[in-house]
Chains A and B, each alone.
Chain A
Amino acid sequence: MRYLITLAARSAWNRRLALGMTMVSIALATALLLSIAHLRHDAREGFAQSVAGTDLIVGARASPVQLMLYAVFRIGDPSQNMRWASARKLARHPAVAWSIPLSLGDSHHGFPVLGTSADYFAHFGYGDRQKLRFETGKPFESVFDAVLGAEVARKLHYQSGQKIVLTHGAGVLAGAEHADKPFTVVGILAPTGTPVDRTVHISLAGMEAIHLDWQGGAPVPGFSIPPEQVKKFDLTPKVITALLIGLKQRGDVFAMQRAIAEDPDEPLMGVMPGVTLDQLWEVVGQCEKVLLLVSWLVALVGLGGLVAVMLVGLDARRRELAILRAVGARPRTLLTLLALEGVAVTLGGMLAGVALLAGVLPVAAPWVQAHYGIALSGFSLNGDEWVLLGWILFAGCVASLLPGLRAYRIALADGLMPRL
């Protein structure tokens, strides 16, 4: 058996180009399958962990999924604003324990800027109902204070006390900077693995202040209010993006939802995060099933290529098989020889695929997070992924049997006279 492995290895090395290409295709298929599985796992984790303890997300009446995506994950199209007056009214509702206003729209080097209140740091929960924790510093107090998410600080190498300039909108238009009113970093949050890490937090008053001299998305020409003067103005917001609500009794959630929907002053809706996450998953889940199916097809194409390469090679190896028969190799030995080669190529491809993924993941993670809001965990194989690898190996073994069986039949039919 040990010699057989040596023989298979020498033989494979002799045909390394074709087998190498096959191995590459199996590696890519493996990496693809694993990354889809990885992405799915992390996306689901990330979605489920992003908000906890919030009973309702309130916003202007529109698609619940869109509101959820924008308010919590800061991706997708901006939803319509709700009036600040409505938010105040809800906050005073007897069933409400706490509320957190969210005001989105600006950015800083691609990171979203969130205008909120001090309640955010007291009540916002994520993961397993954990609260936000400060790595350094404290919540914002004055108008031009900012609190950074962990990743913002890490990526941009910011520290407490640093001055930062916010950009109007998503930062796609040049010259739309709020350069006249820089903010000071007063605190940096500990990492959470949620979109909070990627957020620059400022007060609602700060958000209002930088837009005092703006109108319709651009600075008003010839009109500028210096930062020292802003306190003379009313910095109460007119509108916000959404309001997170925590109830005193969770059981009141349906009644509260109804009360919000029936608000006579403004068309609003209250969205239950859990339910909406499930809806979101139904959409994403279909996508993910198709992706998984496609990646399995890619894997099958890879293994099909392996079978094809080995079968084509086999006809050129009929003399070699006859020689091995002449020195006493059994037809079954030749089957094993071929199957070993196939399994080895599959295994090699799988290892290369895993290595590829391990190499690519750290590079791709920031990009994926920036574009899709999914926090990819570091490379490690979880139970599902091991099962997946097992299936690939199984499929590879089955595929390798085909050339093996063909070699067996050639050995029996040719004997010592290869028919070429």
Chain B
Amino acid sequence: MSTEFLPLFAIGLAAGALGGLLGVGGGLLIVPALALWGGLPLRVAVSASLVCICATSVSGSAIHLSKQRVDLASAIELQFFAVVGAVAAGLGAGLIPPGPLFLTFAALLLLTAGQMWPSANKGLIERVLEHTRWSRARVARGVSVGAGIISGLLGVGGGILNTPVLHLVMGLPFERAVATSTYMIGMTAAAGALVYYARGDMVVSAATAAMLGTLLGAVPAALGGHRIGARGLRMAFALLLLTIAAMMLRRGVAEF
């Protein structure tokens, strides 16, 4: 066991536990933690995060599929568009310097913090989707491409976009939308991760250490069977995301 295993395992453990309990992808925490404190280059952190997302999706989806919670027809159709976005973004990430990627990640953290803030009845994405007049199929496909792009570029699952689309645009009940999104993000993350792996932007030992931690960390949420919706905890998590966003912004500016 290498000396770097334990810190990376601990990062995965914390991200898996928080992500599972609060219903957000672990990638939002894993990428900043590995890049800011783990000392890994951003692209290596992104690829490690994508492997972690594969692992959490695989374990979660196996349960959801056995209980028939996944709308496989919607998932397979939208997954194609998400994979196109993830592969394109994964290829493009090899050409983009770290500075803009740090800043884009900070913007995503700010958006997610807004979604998590308890006083907001509905997040920005939900409000936009509710008022759009475009055809439902086009919106769903377009947003899936967007989810794939943020997944391949920033190493997150894309569930922040998938779940509202499946719930509000495709009309799935919320629990079913979450299960379907869990299944979809696995394939999207795998497509992106394989592009990074093929390019040589993956440190396998780091990715597997974080992956084992994430899998173990997700167990409490899986056993609990539901997410914690406590106002205080959501606010604390939103503040944590804001703090990380500020650090990512600072690092992004420094990288220019």
Q: Is chain B a partner of chain A in the same complex?
A: no
